[in-house]
């Protein structure tokens, strides 16, 4: 199915973000019209977080990869992330972006990211199985197994809050958890710990990001 028009995609850039180039290219290849949006501009009101059709919090180590990683972005924009869902704008958080969105409470209370059980940084290809869910980002992909890389040290999802699990690790987990991706209650926002945008032309990247673009209003 062809995308009706090129959707505007805002890719957040914060100090330490390091996958913005791959993310921009991946959304371009998927049929979107991506651009960088700087955290400072959002914080200072020069940009509005809702001036887009899709919003992406990409990977990297914004303000460091440590137990509270993602806290600065979450504190700056935690009150703005819900505006995206209220406006019906699809949201995706990748790696450090997942940490920021979880910290901001976009997936409910009682959830947190903690250190990998191995205690070390994981950087290797990982297999992911897509589950049946209401997540718009994985619509029609149920049962698919995608391989894309991990790149994190604090990637284990913990807590007693409700989890809407979208993907699980197929085989070895890079962090000790089975859960690789989650979504919010209406399926509009998804967060995953690993990197489908590496490389930008990967089957996982094109399939997942095209779904997000197709769902954009």
- Which one of 52, 54, 95, 183 is the catalytic residue? 95
> What stretches in the chain show pLDDT beneath 70?
1-4, 61-70, 217
> Got the DSSP string for 91-133?
EEEETHHHHHHHHTTTT-SSEEEE--TTSS-B-SEEEEEEPP-
Query: Is 135 a residue of the active site?
Result: no
Q: Is the dihedral of CA 80, 56, 76, 176 positive or negative?
A: positive
Q: Is residue 72 part of a domain?
A: yes
1 in any annotated domain: no
**Do 189 and 106 touch, CB atoms closer than 8 A?**
yes
Q: Which of 22, 115, 179, 197 is labelled catalytic?
A: 197
Check residue 4 and give its pLDDT.
52
34 assigned to some structural domain: yes
pLDDT at 70: 58
Q: For residues 75 and 73, what is the distance between their CA atoms, to the nearest angstrom?
A: 5
The answer to whether residue 2 is domain-embedded is: no
State pLDDT tens for residues 127-184.
999 999 999 999 999 999 999 999 888 889 999 888 999 999 999 999 999 999 999 9
pLDDT of residue 123: 85
Provide the CATH number for the domain around residue 145. Answer: 3.40.50.880
Q: Could you confirm whether 128 is annotated as catalytic?
A: no
Yes or no: say if 57 and 97 are a contact pair by the CB < 8 Å rule.
yes
Q: How many structural domains are present in the chain?
A: 1
Domain that holds residue 139: 8-215
pLDDT value at residue 161: 83
- For the question of whether the overall pTM of this predicted structure is more than 0.75, the answer is yes
R_g of the chain, CA atoms, integer Å:
15
CA-CA-CA-CA torsion sign (94, 4, 81, 63): positive
- The answer to whether position 76 is within a domain reads yes
Residue 3 covered by a domain: no
What number of CA atoms fall less than 13 Å from residue 188's CA on the CB side? 17
Indicate whether 183 belongs to any domain.
yes
Based on the residue annotation, tell me whether 95 is a catalytic residue of this protein: yes
């Amino acid at each position: 199915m062809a995308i009706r028009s090129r959707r505007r995609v805002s890719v957040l850039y914060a100090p330490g973000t390091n996958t913005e180039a791959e993310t921009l290219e991946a959304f371009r290849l998927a049929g979107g019209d991506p651009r960088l949006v700087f955290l400072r501009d959002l914080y200072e009101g020069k940009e509005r977080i809702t001036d887009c059709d899709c919003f992406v919090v990409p990977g990297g180590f914004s303000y460091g990869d440590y137990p509270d990683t993602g806290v600065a972005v979450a504190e700056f924009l935690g009150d703005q992330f819900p505006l995206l869902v209220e406006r019906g704008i699809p949201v995706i958080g990748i790696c450090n972006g997942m940490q920021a969105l979880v910290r901001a409470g976009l997936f409910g209370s009682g959830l947190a990211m903690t250190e990998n059980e191995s205690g070390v940084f994981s950087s290797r290809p990982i297999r992911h199985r897509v589950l049946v869910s209401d997540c718009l980002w994985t619509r029609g992909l149920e049962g698919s197994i995608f391989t894309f890389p991990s790149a994190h040290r604090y990637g284990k999802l913990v807590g007693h809050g409700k989890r809407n699990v979208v993907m699980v690790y197929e085989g070895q987990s890079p962090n000790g958890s089975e859960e690789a991706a989650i979504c919010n209650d209406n399926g509009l926002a998804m967060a995953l710990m690993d990197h489908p945008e590496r490389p930008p032309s990967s089957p996982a990247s094109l399939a997942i990001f095209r779904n997000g673009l197709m769902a954009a209003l």
